[in-house]
Amino acid sequence: MTDLTRLSLKETRNGLRARQFSSLEVTSAYLEAIKTGNETLNAYICVEEEIARNQAKKSDERLAAGEAGPLEGVPLGIKDLFATRGVHTQAASHILDGFLPEYESTVTANLWNDGAVMLGKLNMDEFAMGSSNETSYFGPVVNPWRPADDDGSGPALVPGGSSGGSASAVSAMLCAGATATDTGGSIRQPAAFCGVVGIKPTYGRCSRWGIVAFASSLDQAGPLTRTVEDNAMMLTSMAGFDSRDSTSADVPVPDFAAAVERGVKGLSIGIPREYRMDGMPGEIETLWKQGIEWLRDEGARIRDISLPHTRYALPAYYIVAPAEASSNLARYDGVKYGLRVAGKSIDEMYELTRAAGFGREVQRRVMIGTYVLSAGYYDAYYKRAQKVRTLIKRDFEQVFADGVDAILTPATPSAAFAIGDAEMAADPVKMYLNDIFTVTVNMAGLPAIAVPAGKDRQGLPLALQLIGRPFDEETLFAGGRVIERSAGLDLAPGKWWQK
């Protein structure tokens, strides 16, 4: 029998519907793959064998009865940021030790309603703060890709972050697709590093209800998958209005998969000059040029555009996001959830619990956030960052009003780097620079997709990003598919972890 874990999400769904194999078979194949791979890759924090097999059996019954949902029987991994009823939900933090939610996030509930099967919870940066998955309390995740000339003695690479477990698991075929979240790049940057597809939908497209909050005005859920079409299918299921999230958008959810083969003929694609950074590696420049050619060859009109406030996006993000985080994370006080370290007074208990429960990066964010919101500094930092945010948003509005349909940029300034990279460890700002091409999109609330488009000289995946108009994810899937088809990459990493 063929290896069922190698099938795309769509092939899996179609094979199940045609009764070529059962959900129990494909689910067992994934559970087996996790058993041989997870020790090395550390993508899953918790594997839910019993839940997975039970859900698969129910799916098989529905498939037999001809009552299959859109994702019936398809095994997925879930980022640990999504609340799953009765199942490990810790945002990869020590402070949520033992927390088992009594409710299910809207996004995961949507997936289960459509018949999907849950394999387990995926590793991530603690509270989704990071770009390398090294801030997890559960240890770093390993990228399934290695440099072509690495005989196994070289350092392991990061999968990106914060959705590193999701990207690694999808790439290594430890699930058919995974949920992820993106506050400043956490879907697109790991997608780029692991050679998978990731979309950050328009703010409000997916409900935030039941997702552990990082920076509420920026957080959005989205899928990570191996193909653009799979991505469209999964987003169709995840998205939708939810009255329990006051920022959820009451707009219809199209069948995104129907837009995938639309092409880019006649579309106007903007190339923002501000993204041509000094010191940008030649390989990224070449990749970008290649992407422009592909879209032009398929009938798109290419236009140079300007987004003048781009260079303020990263500094403004690192004020807005920590500010919201410091407020959101105030609830972890040792009283209501998870960890409690006893103290002589209640204040001491708070202090000891938060000191022991939060990792260094989370503590840094809480401190920055508290500082920029404090009485003397609010106007100088937080208020100004909010003004910058408005300007960034306006830059995009102008370009779209001028008739641009989508914007093409690189997804990341580099390929995956080594776990423990000394430069990044010594200087948090170096780590923050990973999101230089992605944060503007969150600041403006726009949708953007990262699609594998090439490989660097070491054979590691590189990706391009397409940014779209609000609620026009369809154009991104269509453009993403053109990039995917034109690139024609083999994106299955060698399964070296099986030896």
3-state DSSP call for residue 199? strand
Q: Which is nearer to ligand GLN, 22 or 105 (CB)?
A: 105
Q: Is 212 in the site for ligand GLN (CB under 6 A)?
A: no
Q: Is 479 in the site for ligand GLN (CB under 6 A)?
A: no
Q: Which is nearer to ligand GLN, 4 or 221 (CB)?
A: 221
Q: Closest distance between ligand GLN and the C-beta of residue 303, in Å?
A: 29
Q: Which residue is nearest to ligand GLN (CB)?
A: 186
Q: Which is nearer to ligand GLN, 174 or 321 (CB)?
A: 321
Q: Closest distance between ligand GLN and the C-beta of residue 329, in Å?
A: 13
Q: Is 369 in the site for ligand GLN (CB under 6 A)?
A: no
Which residues belong to the active site?
79, 162, 186
Site for ligand GLN in 12-31 (CB under 6 A): none
Q: Which is nearer to ligand GLN, 353 or 465 (CB)?
A: 465
User: How far is Cα of residue 103 from the mean position of the Cα atoms in its chain?
Assistant: 22
State the helix-helix crossing angle for 49-64 and 23-41, rounded to 10 degrees: 160
- Residue 316 sits at φ, ψ, to 5 deg, of -70, -40
Q: Which is nearer to ligand GLN, 185 or 195 (CB)?
A: 185
Please list, in sequence order, all residues whose beta carbon lies within 8 angstroms of the beta carbon of residue 212, skipping any fewer than 6 positions away.
Answer: 81, 82, 83, 89, 91, 127, 128
Residue 253 contacts residue 198 (beta carbons within 8 Å): no
Cα 188–Cα 318–Cα 94 angle in degrees, nearest 5: 75
Beta strand spans in 312-447 (E): 406-410
Q: Closest distance between ligand GLN and the C-beta of residue 130, in Å?
A: 5
From residue 103, give the alpha-carbon distance in Å to each of 44, 85, 483: 21, 5, 39
Please list, in sequence order, all residues whose beta carbon lies within 8 angstroms of the beta carbon of residue 22, skipping any fewer than 6 positions away.
Answer: 16, 56, 60, 63, 73
Of 186, 184, 123, whose CA–CA distance to 160 is shortest?
186
Please list, in sequence order, all residues whose beta carbon lies within 8 angstroms of the beta carbon of residue 340, skipping any fewer than 6 positions away.
Answer: 334, 349, 353
Q: Is 316 in the site for ligand GLN (CB under 6 A)?
A: no
Task: Tell me which stretch binds ligand GLN (CB under 6 A): 128-136, 266-274, 473-481, 490-498.
Answer: 128-136
Size of the site for ligand GLN (CB under 6 A): 13
Q: Which residues of 476-490 are buried (b: 16+ CB within 10 A; e: fewer)?
A: bbbbbbbbbebbeee
Site for ligand GLN in 425-454 (CB under 6 A): 435
Binds ligand GLN (CB under 6 A): choice among 60, 182, 242, 395: 182
Q: Which is nearer to ligand GLN, 129 or 197 (CB)?
A: 129
Q: Which is nearer to ligand GLN, 435 or 456 (CB)?
A: 435
Task: Tell me which stretch binds ligand GLN (CB under 6 A): 17-25, 179-187, 253-261, 384-392.
Answer: 179-187
Instruction: Report DSSP state, residue 418.
Output: B
Q: Which is nearer to ligand GLN, 84 or 183 (CB)?
A: 183
The span from the CA of 41 to the CA of 467, in Å, is 31
Q: Is 185 in the site for ligand GLN (CB under 6 A)?
A: yes
200, exposed or middle or buried, with CB in 10 Å at 0-12, 13-18, 19+? Answer: buried
Task: Tell me which stretch binds ligand GLN (CB under 6 A): 31-39, 183-191, 251-259, 488-496.
Answer: 183-191
Q: Lay out the site mask for ligand GLN across 146-175 (x = CB under 6 A, - = otherwise).
A: ----------------x-------------
Q: Is 183 in the site for ligand GLN (CB under 6 A)?
A: yes
Structure tokens at 432: 């923050």
Q: Is 126 in the site for ligand GLN (CB under 6 A)?
A: no
Q: Lay out the site mask for ligand GLN across 258-287 (x = CB under 6 A, - = otherwise).
A: ------------------------------
Residue 288 contacts residue 464 (beta carbons within 8 Å): yes
Binds ligand GLN (CB under 6 A): choice among 196, 221, 228, 321: 321
β partners of residue 78 = 121
Q: Closest distance between ligand GLN and the C-beta of residue 435, in Å?
A: 5
Q: Is 128 in the site for ligand GLN (CB under 6 A)?
A: yes
The span from the CA of 287 to the CA of 275, in Å, is 13
Polymer length of the chain: 499
Q: Is 186 in the site for ligand GLN (CB under 6 A)?
A: yes
Residues that bind ligand GLN (CB under 6 A): 128-131, 162, 182-186, 214, 321, 435
